[in-house]
Chains A and B, each alone.
Chain A
């Protein structure tokens, strides 16, 4: 049993006997030091989605799911294909991996986790930190090397984020996948 505020994206909770994947979970302070959790849930049996809201301390029943190491392979039509070490392929829809899509680029080698419920793959988790290359960046303010001044940039897949002002097109950067925030400049992956 978890409280609603401890439920994270990609957790699965049981409601009325059905497993629901948490696709979004937003914590907001309401009144008098209380808080609510707004969640987008997907029914893993029917595929239907719904938005819900909870008190931060509401009890929720979490389901533990099997996980397998996978890497991104390719996109086929609307499906994203991941592969495990034994060359088994797993197809997921854009909705299944909504939080992962901003970081999917061709040729990515990040070790991801495929998540299963009753033998069926339902989502993929990225590592907490990934390295990506800047495809576009705004101009820099002259001389700032502090990393405190931020500017807009884009990855090769069009994902926008803010990076340190000294970053340039072609630079590799570390990104925190939990928040989507730029962490630091990085070396090019080998």
Chain B
């Protein structure tokens, strides 16, 4: 079980590739596994890791073999095959996984959610018409789930990230925050409610410095500023508010950006998880779904996240996060939320420590595969 294949289809944005790439690197580095990452759109991966050349069909980067996944690709499957987020594996590959000796362990790595049903479904078999034994694997926030992606040294690195390191990193990005200003990173989906927030920030008593990597929220901000584009390094000031466009940073550097800021606006799955490891207050723009399903998922996370917070701070957080995700005005809810800043900072750090007591997703996956192969040698499972 030393060989692992991870299949990833880039549906939209960076989440699928981001999670797959992070998992692949961690499995290769920390567990000394031979990992191949099959990705159908290496251009997305190049943005997260500039060493990747999208024109190459096969390349080795950061200890991982990156393979362009397209029609007709035929490879001998690994001992463990992970399909991320329900991407569809070709029948020929599935048959080859079953024919392999011993057959591959087939894992469907699902989306992250804090809902309680995750615990009931985590690790369950999914017997298919063709193919070897398949299991569903759910990342999550409790011990009954697969955990979250977290590199072994991540929190130590964060601890050792000094004020000098911060200033050096920010300078590399061309950022020179004025002393005492609140530094904010913004990586969210489009959202009209940012207009009300920017209006509120410009009139705040404190100074705010917003860092905006190229992304989907840029257009909302451009409209508010009345500019055609946000060029990298360009700074726009409106009263107490400074907005600065920064380049899209590589995956490893995104952690440094989160650690450097006082508040982080994040989205989807990967940046959402990294913001939690940063131990700083954050706002989550959850992936919008039909029938407002995402709002239930948002509430489920907040139930966990706000467990150790005072009632008023919890209510203010629910309201602020809710207003952002419903695209309501943020004027009142932001004002109420930031009053609880000390509570929010304390909670962010406590939550990070609590999560860090669980095994990481890569670790639990490696253990799962190991025990599955071991049990397979001893007993015949029902499927």
Known interface pairs A29-B289, A31-B111, A32-B111; A54-B126 also in contact (CB < 8 Å): yes
Instruction: Judge if B61 is at the interface, Cβ distance under 8 Å.
Output: no
Closest to B15 in A: A32
Which listed residue (A30, A43, A60) contacts B111, Cβ 8 A? A30
Known interface pairs A30-B110, A31-B110, A31-B111; A53-B124 also in contact (CB < 8 Å): yes
Q: Flag B106-150 by CB within 8 Å of A: 1 or 0 each.
A: 001011110001001100111111000000100000000000000
Instruction: Judge if A146 is at the interface, Cβ distance under 8 Å.
Output: no
Residues of B contacting A: mostly: loop
CB under 8 Å from chain B, chain A span 8-49: 15-16, 26, 28-34, 36, 38, 43, 48
A31 and B126 contacting across the interface, CB-CB below 8 Å: no
Instruction: Judge if A55 is at the interface, Cβ distance under 8 Å.
Output: yes
Known interface pairs A33-B290, A36-B136; A50-B125 also in contact (CB < 8 Å): yes
Chain B nearest CB from A146 CB (Å) reads 26
B125 and A52 contacting across the interface, CB-CB below 8 Å: yes
A61 and B117 contacting across the interface, CB-CB below 8 Å: no
Chain A nearest CB from B132 CB (Å) reads 11
Instruction: Judge if A106 is at the interface, Cβ distance under 8 Å.
Output: no
A50 to B293, CA, bound (A): 28
B85 and A31 contacting across the interface, CB-CB below 8 Å: yes
Instruction: Judge if B63 is at the interface, Cβ distance under 8 Å.
Output: no
Cβ–Cβ < 8 Å partners of A16 in chain B: 127, 383
Cβ–Cβ < 8 Å partners of A29 in chain B: 289, 291, 293
Chain B nearest CB from A67 CB (Å) reads 25
Q: Interface size of B by Cβ–Cβ distance < 8 Å?
A: 26
A58 and B110 contacting across the interface, CB-CB below 8 Å: no
Residues of A contacting B: mostly: strand
Q: Flag B336-378 by CB within 8 Å of A: 1 or 0 each.
A: 0000000000000000000000000000000000000000000
Cβ–Cβ < 8 Å partners of B383 in chain A: 15-16, 50
Instruction: Judge if B248 is at the interface, Cβ distance under 8 Å.
Output: no
Chain B nearest CB from A75 CB (Å) reads 31
B126 and A53 contacting across the interface, CB-CB below 8 Å: yes
Instruction: Judge if B382 is at the interface, Cβ distance under 8 Å.
Output: yes
Chain B nearest CB from A102 CB (Å) reads 21
Q: Flag A55-94 by CB within 8 Å of B: 1 or 0 each.
A: 1001111000000000000000000000000000000000
Closest to B127 in A: A15
Cβ–Cβ < 8 Å partners of A111 in chain B: none
A48 to B125, CA, bound (A): 15
Chain A nearest CB from B97 CB (Å) reads 16
A48 to B110, CA, bound (A): 27
A52 and B127 contacting across the interface, CB-CB below 8 Å: yes
A58 to B128, CA, bound (A): 8
CB under 8 Å from chain A, chain B span 25-48: none
A14 to B166, CA, bound (A): 59
CB under 8 Å from chain A, chain B span 306-360: none
Cβ–Cβ < 8 Å partners of A6 in chain B: none
Cβ–Cβ < 8 Å partners of B136 in chain A: 36, 53
A50 to B11, CA, bound (A): 33
Instruction: Judge if B86 is at the interface, Cβ distance under 8 Å.
Output: yes
Cβ–Cβ < 8 Å partners of B113 in chain A: 30-31
Chain A nearest CB from B347 CB (Å) reads 25
CB under 8 Å from chain A, chain B span 85-108: 85-86, 108
B382 and A36 contacting across the interface, CB-CB below 8 Å: no
Cβ–Cβ < 8 Å partners of B112 in chain A: 31
Instruction: Judge if B69 is at the interface, Cβ distance under 8 Å.
Output: no
Instruction: Judge if B301 is at the interface, Cβ distance under 8 Å.
Output: no
A38 to B119, CA, bound (A): 12
Instruction: Judge if B287 is at the interface, Cβ distance under 8 Å.
Output: yes
Name which of A31, A51, A59 has the most chain B CB atoms within 10 A of its CB. Answer: A31
Chain A nearest CB from B19 CB (Å) reads 11
Residues of A in contact with B (beta carbons under 8 Å apart) = 15-16, 26, 28-34, 36, 38, 43, 48, 50-55, 58-61
A sample of 13 more A-B contacts (CB under 8 A), given A31-B113, A36-B121, A52-B126, is: A26-B117, A28-B117, A29-B291, A31-B110, A31-B111, A31-B112, A31-B269, A33-B289, A34-B85, A51-B124, A55-B86, A59-B128, A59-B129
Q: List 17 A-B contacts (CB under 8 A).
A: A15-B127, A16-B383, A28-B117, A28-B121, A29-B289, A30-B111, A30-B113, A31-B269, A31-B287, A32-B111, A33-B290, A50-B125, A50-B383, A53-B126, A53-B136, A58-B128, A59-B128
